[in-house]
Structure 1
Amino acid sequence: MACKSKTRNLQVFDTELSADAVEWCPVPLSHNILACGTYQLQKGAEQAGAEDVPHQRIGRLYLFEYQQEGALTPPLSELQRIDTPAILDLKWCHVAVSDAPVLGMATAGGEVRLYTLTDGPHGRRCLKEKTSQSVGTECLALSLDWSTGRGESSDMRVACSDSNGCVSVLSLTGAGLETSTHWKAHDFEAWITAFSYWDTQLLYSGGDDSKLKGWDLRTDCSSPTFTSKRHSMGVCSIQSNPHQEHILATGSYDEQVLLWDGRSMRQPLSETAVGGGVWRLKWHPTQPHLLLAACMHNDFHILDCHKSLGGGGGEAECPTLTSYILHNSLAYGADWSRLTPDQPPPASPEGSPRPPQTYLAEGVGHLRIQYESPTASFDTSLEDDAGHYIPEGLAPAAPPPPPPPPTDSGTTTLPVTALLASCSFYDHMLHLWRWDYSPA
């Protein structure tokens, strides 16, 4: 019997600046708190007409609260906005620090900033800057990860990667953040770094040199424990599975999601083509086989990794259970909430999202997409196969619709109702949505 899978938009919020990171708070009693980060390149010529003024990367941090109030009230309400340097990544510490949730932020100023979630005026939650630490000169901090992914607080560290190809490990002390290790990890931008949540002395990194590397923090990190060239383009997303030991998910500009067993990194467990560069990957908070992928030029997808993780002998690909396709721009940020939308969702905003404009050069069947790094401007350069330029503001033809959910009820056997947030870049939009899934 065919499974049922449905997504519904609950709310759309205009972030004004280009949105690229979104994170639900994982700390109990604060699961209804959502943070969103933005990145905007402000060109010198746009600043008071001064052509010789250097470009600036500006950002804004938003804080939201989710409430289930009824069909006529938007569930997300804005609590706070903070102007910052451009934000490349956001991650909450998975446990409270001094009895309060702490949000980490990687900025275009080359630093890691920490904010504490506190009670503000009139009982509203707010963020207050706690501490910051530079990770290098003339670089962008591109990603960060906490060592606390399994909810353990005995080892509380932050790893950060940067545009100089370096990785830093920072320790959180009573005085703030202190750099304990810093090394050159990749030849070009180190897009991503992530802890093994099961052994936090192990760290992974991915770079624009198309390499995935492993590091043992008990050494001086002068050489990696392994180097994989299995991805054919820059590696930009990594996450350790907090539910199943040794399992690692990686994504790349090559539009592939790979699952790995960390004990044998020569060959991935599975390889899934998702049709867009994989900027972020997020495992479900409680379901070990569900993986959320933000796929840049091809929307957001939820993959069923059950068989690849040992539930059915391994799979060449992880089937797509659902796709969220209502964004009109690059899919960058996405995250699962630990809350469940138990009440009927609010009505969707009036009007349907405007379909993207399409352009195909005469006689050409597809477009070549050149991804450019955030160290430039996050812009993408689009050409057809004949080398013709596609005017700014016009997008390639929409990809074919995703395959229908698999009919094999042996993959995912339990009904799932999930609350998710996602954000997209050029249209500067944050979406709140729900996913309802029933295997039969």
Structure 2
Amino acid sequence: MGWQSRTRTLQVFDTELSADTVEWCPLPQFSHVLACGTYQLQKGDEKQTAENCPAPNRIGRLYLFECNPQTSFIPPLTETQRRDTPAILDLKWCHVPISERPVLGMATASGEIQLYKLMESQQGTCGLEHELSTGLGPDRLALSLDWSTGRGESSDVRVVSSDSSGSLTALSLGEASLNTVCQWKAHDFEAWIAAFSYWDTQIVYSGGDDCKLKGWDLRMGPSSPTFTSKRHTMGVCSIHSNPHREHILATGSYDENVLLWDGRNMKQPLSETAVGGGVWRLKWHPSEEHLLLAACMHNDFHILHCQKAMEGQDAPCPVLASYILHNSLAYGADWSRLPLSNSTPPSPQEPPQISVGLTESGGHLRIQYESPTASFDTSLEDDSGRYIPDQCSLPEKSSVPDPVTSPARDSQSLSCLMASCSFYDHMMHVWRWDWSPEDKQKPSEPVPSS
């Protein structure tokens, strides 16, 4: 029996400023709430000289939405709040309530980690209220954050953050404060990403623009890493610990590869999958342990099936589905925990999802990726200096796993609600992915006469 994989756009929202991060609230009561963060670099007057030109002004905006995916013909998102902020590099909801409220963490270009609590108004809509802020230090941008609560454990809630100075900061959440536990220099250049091991939250992983993936044990102090891997050949910018399978870790890089690791042996990855674009964010599915969502910058969004790799078979992870309707750098992506019916709803007519291949050139493709911090430019040209389209071809799809290895073993299909955002076109998309057995057409039977 074959399997059918289908993505359907439900709504497109213009964020006005460049969008780089989206996050669904993980708490069941508030799983309909979606946050989106933006980042915009405002350059000074070009007539100003270098001596009196002020530092670039980075502004942002935080959007909050509520979603009702059961409305077939009405856009499912309703905007409930927008607030201007410093430029936002990362958003993460705490996986457990804090003082009985959902809490959203934000990494900002002002070098702060800001916490917001979600409140309900008398009208029944939700809004975010600023709760706490802490600075990471002068002259740095907070680039990422992660909560220690990935497996739903509420004891000793902590945050880890990475910043543009190459440093990591571990923070402890008190009753009314966010306190720095330790801060240390981890990478030679920007530390793009920091993440907890959700199974042992004294273990922290980090990736930087020095092309290194490192591990740290907070019990031993941050004087030296527990390991340093140079397996990625370009900057490491995404890390996510699998909350369902102990020791499993996913990492992504500007080198356009997703690596899966067993945390007990960081000398060699379990698998390597080429996805055709710099991997800015990776997200494991909220309940299906083998599904991994990748935001691949120049090559859209892909859902990988990682079961065979996690079982020790040295093979790339098959691509189950690709969402290619964004027209700019694919940065933010997340799975929703909202339940969906298995029947695919009607949707407006969509253009066919056609990938744009690279033009033929006599030299090698040279791509220099741009980070959201705009610390370096994107170059898309071959060795002869000829322009190359900024949409790389899709990764070659491996065979779709058979029903025995399907992610939904106990059901006939799987339906997921997703959100994704892209940078220069400042767009956020809400879409659904349906994976189900193919319907075999039965020969038509005569209708009995009445």
TM-score for both structures, normalised by structure 2: 0.90
> Is residue 390 of structure 2 the alignment partner of residue 396 of structure 1?
yes
Stretches of structure 1 lacking an aligned partner (at least 5 in a row) = none
Q: Is the 8 A contact 1:238 1:249 kept in 2?
A: yes
What one-letter code is carried by the residue in structure 2 that aligns with 1:24? W
Matching residue of 2:67: 66
For the residue of structure 2 that corresponds to 1:410, the secondary structure is helix
Stretches of structure 2 lacking an aligned partner (at least 5 in a row) = 439-450
Matching residue of 2:135: 134
Matching residue of 2:173: 172
For the residue of structure 1 that corresponds to 2:45, the secondary structure is helix
1:386, distance to aligned residue in structure 2 (A) = 1.0
Distance 1:352 1:322 in 2: 17
Distance 1:342 1:104 in 2: 31
Q: Is the 8 A contact 1:12 1:349 kept in 2?
A: no
Matching residue of 1:39: 39
Distance 1:47 1:150 in 2: 53
Distance 2:344 2:259 in 1: 34
Q: Is the 8 A contact 2:20 2:372 kept in 1?
A: no
Matching residue of 2:257: 256
Q: How does 1:298-313 map to 2 (within 5 A)?
A: 298-310=299-311, 313=312
Distance 1:8 1:404 in 2: 21
Q: Is the 8 A contact 1:33 1:63 kept in 2?
A: yes
Q: Is the 8 A contact 1:41 1:377 kept in 2?
A: no
What one-letter code is carried by the residue in structure 1 that aligns with 2:40? Q
State the aligned residue count.
433
Distance 1:68 1:375 in 2: 33
1:354, distance to aligned residue in structure 2 (A) = 11
Q: Is the 8 A contact 1:9 1:432 kept in 2?
A: yes
Distance 1:302 1:246 in 2: 21
Matching residue of 1:110: 111
For the residue of structure 1 that corresponds to 2:310, the secondary structure is helix
Q: Is the 8 A contact 1:45 1:53 kept in 2?
A: no
Distance 2:361 2:176 in 1: 63
> Is residue 312 of structure 2 the alignment partner of residue 318 of structure 1?
no
What one-letter code is carried by the residue in structure 2 that aligns with 1:291? L
Matching residue of 2:340: 341
Q: Is the 8 A contact 1:71 1:344 kept in 2?
A: no
For the residue of structure 2 that corresponds to 1:277, the secondary structure is coil
Change (3 A) 1:354 1:264: closer
Matching residue of 1:420: 418
Distance 2:241 2:6 in 1: 27
Could you report, residue by residue, the CA deviation over 1:65-121 in whole angstroms, capped at 9, with x for unpaired residues?
001452221101101001011100000000000000000000000010000000125
For the residue of structure 2 that corresponds to 1:266, the secondary structure is coil
Name whichever of 216-225 and 46-55 sits farther off. Answer: 46-55
Name whichever of 333-342 and 271-280 sits farther off. Answer: 333-342
What one-letter code is carried by the residue in structure 2 that aligns with 1:225? T
Structure exhibiting the larger radius of gyration computed from Cα positions: 2
Q: How does 1:7-22 map to 2 (within 5 A)?
A: 7-22=7-22
For the residue of structure 2 that corresponds to 1:188, the secondary structure is coil
Q: Is the 8 A contact 2:344 2:434 kept in 1?
A: no
Q: Is the 8 A contact 1:10 1:346 kept in 2?
A: no
Distance 1:321 1:355 in 2: 16
Distance 2:92 2:313 in 1: 31
Distance 1:309 1:357 in 2: 32
Q: Is the 8 A contact 2:275 2:394 kept in 1?
A: no
TM-score for both structures, normalised by structure 1: 0.92
Matching residue of 2:153: 152
Matching residue of 2:443: none
Percent of aligned pairs with the same residue?
66
For the residue of structure 2 that corresponds to 1:423, the secondary structure is strand
Q: How does 1:2-401 map to 2 (within 5 A)?
A: 2-45=2-45, 52-310=53-311, 313-342=312-341, 348=347, 352=351, 360=359, 363-364=361-362, 367-376=365-374, 379-388=377-386, 390=387, 395-396=389-390, 398-400=392-394
Q: Is the 8 A contact 1:10 1:345 kept in 2?
A: no
Change (3 A) 1:343 1:439: closer
1:314, distance to aligned residue in structure 2 (A) = 1.3
Could you report, residue by residue, the CA deviation over 1:6-61 in whole angstroms, capped at 9, with x for unpaired residues?
11111100001110000000012000000000011111128999983432111100
Change (3 A) 1:140 1:182: same
Change (3 A) 1:350 1:61: farther
What one-letter code is carried by the residue in structure 1 that aligns with 2:326? H
What one-letter code is carried by the residue in structure 2 that aligns with 1:412? S
